Amino acid sequence: MQARVTWSNKLQFVGHSQSGHEIIMDGEGQKGPSPMEYVLMAAGGCSSVDVVSILEKARQLVTGCQVELQSERAESAPRVFTKINLHFTVTGTDLSEKHVARAVSLSMDKYCSVSLMLEKHCEITHSYEIQVA
């Protein structure tokens, strides 16, 4: 995997992915998310892909998946994440509690490369709830 980041203006940068997509990163948070916000969203995106994929393979009728992320960062530089909590809300019809719990656990413990990488340096916790569609 490769990427390129190009300075565009002030503390704004454009990230170019190998797959041909672009994102704006802004150190001041005016024109786009900051790089750390992207890291947090990446953890949510990566784990959500896992959860939905695992549930679909288990033939669960998933209609929605949302993850709320709460984080804490160090007070001084480097302002790394010290804690992250991911709370999943999975929506669907006749969802099995056992399958949802398993999907979330498998993502967090085995498959989500972003969360597993971050976990080496910060405390990561997770929870979930099921909503009927």
Reported as a single tens digit per residue, the pLDDT across 40-51 is 999 999 999 999
pLDDT of residue 105: 98
Q: pLDDT at position 103, please?
A: 98
* Domain 1-33 grouped into CATH 1.20.1530.20: no
Q: What confidence score (pLDDT) does residue 96 get?
A: 97
pTM: 0.94
Rounded to an integer, the average pLDDT of 85-98 is: 97
Q: Where are the domains of the chain?
A: 1-33, 35-132
> DSSP readout, the chain?
--EEEEEEETTEEEEEETTS-EEEEETTSSSS--HHHHHHHHHHHHHHHHHHHHHHHTT-EEEEEEEEEEEEE-SSSS--EEEEEEEEEEEEES--HHHHHHHHHHIIIII-HHHHHHTTTSEEEEEEEEEE-
Which pLDDT value is given to residue 3? 98
Question: Average per-residue pLDDT in the chain?
Answer: 97
pLDDT in tens, 2-12: 999 999 999 99
Domain 35-132 grouped into CATH 3.30.300.20: yes
